[in-house]
Amino acid sequence: MALGHDAAGAARFTSLQVMTDTPVIPVIVLNDRAHAVPLAHALIAGGIRMLEVTLRTPAALACIEAIAREVPEAVVGAGTVRSAADAQAAVMAGARFAVSPGYTHGVGKACRDLGLPLLPGVATGSEIMAAHEDGYMALKFFPALQAGGLAMLRAWQGPFGDVKFCPTGGITASNAREFLALSNVVCVGGSWLTPAEAVVRGDWAAITQLAREGAALRRAR
């Protein structure tokens, strides 16, 4: 798939391209801006460049900004985008994609107005239809394990056969392959690549190893 470019020359991805780029999108929670750049380098060294930094901590936007500025090989996005204001702040910080835990038409419109690719979070057929109505065909299934896991994704293959998913929530190194084997799963998301203890310890080698294992997960296309 051809990529466009933004005004600064950075490659612009569609929501589907964000998902097809990687078998796993790391869901990152950072409390300290000082951890952002070394963590991004560690993930890149392991072969993972799509990085979702969740807007759950006071440091999140500064972390996105630092990665966007200092780690050009990374494609940093904002997670936990719950409002138009979150989307705006994410773009200002340099985020190149957004992930939301649910979906509203308002968040979708804000992201489209900003030119920000969005992976909208869905857990029901009605939510899939609402996101689809606004043009989204590449969705995050959240919380995947709690909301029906593999069985739910299989059930959606019938009525929503043209929709692709990134299941997130409860996915780990041990169950990721089962999800990736489904025809409607393009990638998975999860926090297991960036354990809080490893981040706090600055154990970047451990995170590179987890990223390497994540990057090696086979994906079904």
Q: Which residues are catalytic?
A: 52, 140
For ligand 3PG, the binding residues in 191-210 under the rule CB under 6 A are 191-192
In the block, tokens 């090696």 appear at 216
Answer positive or negative: Cα dihedral of 160, 163, 166, 172: positive
Tell me: does residue 27 bind ligand 3PG (CB under 6 A).
Answer: yes
Q: Under rule CB under 6 A, how many of the chain's residues touch ligand 3PG?
A: 10
Q: Closest distance between ligand 3PG and the C-beta of residue 4, in Å?
A: 28
CA distance 4 to 69: 20
β-pairing, 50-54 vs 121-122, is unpaired
Q: Closest distance between ligand 3PG and the C-beta of residue 11, in Å?
A: 25
Residue 165 CB partners (closer than 8 Å, separation 6+): 138, 139, 140, 141, 153, 156, 184, 185, 186
CA distance 221 to 219: 6
Is the bond leading into 143 cis (omega within 30 degrees of zero)?
A: yes
Q: Which is nearer to ligand 3PG, 4 or 124 (CB)?
A: 124
β-pairing, 188-190 vs 4-5, is unpaired
Tell me: does residue 38 bind ligand 3PG (CB under 6 A).
Answer: no
Tell me: does residue 102 bind ligand 3PG (CB under 6 A).
Answer: no
Q: Which is nearer to ligand 3PG, 67 or 145 (CB)?
A: 145
Q: Which is nearer to ligand 3PG, 142 or 165 (CB)?
A: 142
CA distance 164 to 157: 9
Among 91, 169, 179, 187, binds ligand 3PG (CB under 6 A): 169
CA distance 197 to 201: 6
Q: Closest distance between ligand 3PG and the C-beta of residue 47, in Å?
A: 19
- Contact segment (CB under 6 A) with ligand 3PG among 7-15, 38-46, 168-176, 199-207 equals 168-176
CA distance 140 to 188: 8
Tell me: does residue 97 bind ligand 3PG (CB under 6 A).
Answer: no
Tell me: does residue 142 bind ligand 3PG (CB under 6 A).
Answer: yes
Q: Closest distance between ligand 3PG and the C-beta of residue 158, in Å?
A: 25
Among 38, 47, 170, 195, binds ligand 3PG (CB under 6 A): 170
β-pairing, 4-5 vs 11-12, is antiparallel
Tell me: does residue 23 bind ligand 3PG (CB under 6 A).
Answer: no
Where on the chain is the footprint of ligand 3PG (CB under 6 A)? 27, 142-143, 168-171, 190-192
